Amino acid sequence: MNDIASKVLKGEPRSVARLITLAENNSPDAAIAMKDIHPNTGEAHVIGITGVMGGGKSTLISEITREYRKQGKKVGIIAIDPTSPFSGGALLGDRVRMMELAMDEGVFIRSMGTRGMLGGLTSAVYDVVEILDASGKDIVIVETVGVGQAEVDVIKIADSTLVVLVPGLGDSIQTIKAGVMEIADIYVINKADRPDVNQTVAEVKSLVDIDCSNKDRKKPVLTTNARNGEGIKELVNEIKKHKKYLDNSKEFDNKRMRRYEAELIEIIKKRLMNLIFDESKFKEKVESLIYKIFKKEVDPYTAADEILGKILK
């Protein structure tokens, strides 16, 4: 077996960390190691957490993790923050809210930049979930960048998705548009010590009431105050209940299949783009086609067909 993969399977933190780096950098070594990782995955419950910026997601994750730790579960956390499209740099600050977990051997936290990917995730996140899963984590939590209107990709990877809202954003449900409200398995109204919490709960519940996408399960709406731990136990119970619900329905296998579909698309996209734009083989051809488009000698669609034709033949 691949050396780094076998160390990851033993749960060695440094090998876990190094393999994540290799995956993030699209290293061919990562692809080799993942061959041995993949058969050893599937056990971890993957929880996705998304929601409004400043909603307290990181603090909430810290508290959820402490609750799972009390129950003896090992937890992996992937905290994603945006990469600047201008400098390519990123300031990853989610750990500030998770300091109490820093010395716990049963917790592994990794901060990641989006590195150009839209949708609130980063393209290596599929690998990282598998790596943490294979390293023996019972729970893998994925924290997306704060959500605006289109950051819904987290459902592609999570078994259970939490959407975190806060009271007092006025008509907050309007600000996070349709897609975001549809992806929740559980709604969390955090910062529940704030005024207007009842109104926000009522607004969300009224949305849940008219939602008839699944008649077997009504989406729960919970309130928490992550700062003092209020409502966390109930939230974790609700997450576990959702997992049980998935296990007893066909939905679970379906969700996992869709996850692998999304991952496959991501890998193909990456490889194809790499092949066309980075490898010297096609570089000249691509440049000359771009020039031809510019000179109106060819249209962009024909040019794209020509490039794809060369690869697929």
Joined tokens for residue 79: 């905290």
290 CB-near residues (< 8 Å, 6+ apart): 303
Nearer to other proteins, 27 or 206 (CB): 27
Joined tokens for residue 248: 């007893």
Which residues within the stretch 114-143 sit at the binding site for other proteins (CB under 8 A)? 115
Which residues within the stretch 15-54 sit at the binding site for other proteins (CB under 8 A)? 16-18, 20-21, 24-27
Closest distance to other proteins from the beta carbon of 169 (Å): 26
Per-residue x/- track, 79-118, other proteins (CB under 8 A): ----xx--xxxxxxx-xx--x--xx----xxxx-x-x---
Strand order in the sheet with 75-81: 107-113, 75-81, 139-143, 45-51, 160-165, 186-189, 221-223
| Cα–Cα nearest to 144, from 206, 77, 63, 243 | 77
Closest distance to other proteins from the beta carbon of 72 (Å): 21
Name the segment binding other proteins (CB under 8 A); options: 8-16, 38-46, 183-191, 242-250. 8-16
DSSP of 16-41: HHHHHHHHHTT-HHHHHHHHHHGGG-
Told to check if 14 binds other proteins by CB under 8 A, we report yes
Closest distance to other proteins from the beta carbon of 277 (Å): 13
Nearer to other proteins, 73 or 240 (CB): 73
Told to check if 213 binds other proteins by CB under 8 A, we report no
Return the CA Rg of the chain. 21
- Beta strand 139-143 with 75-81 is parallel
Please give the residue ranges that form the binding site for other proteins (CB under 8 A).
Answer: 13-14, 16-18, 20-21, 24-27, 83-84, 87-93, 95-96, 99, 102-103, 108-111, 113, 115
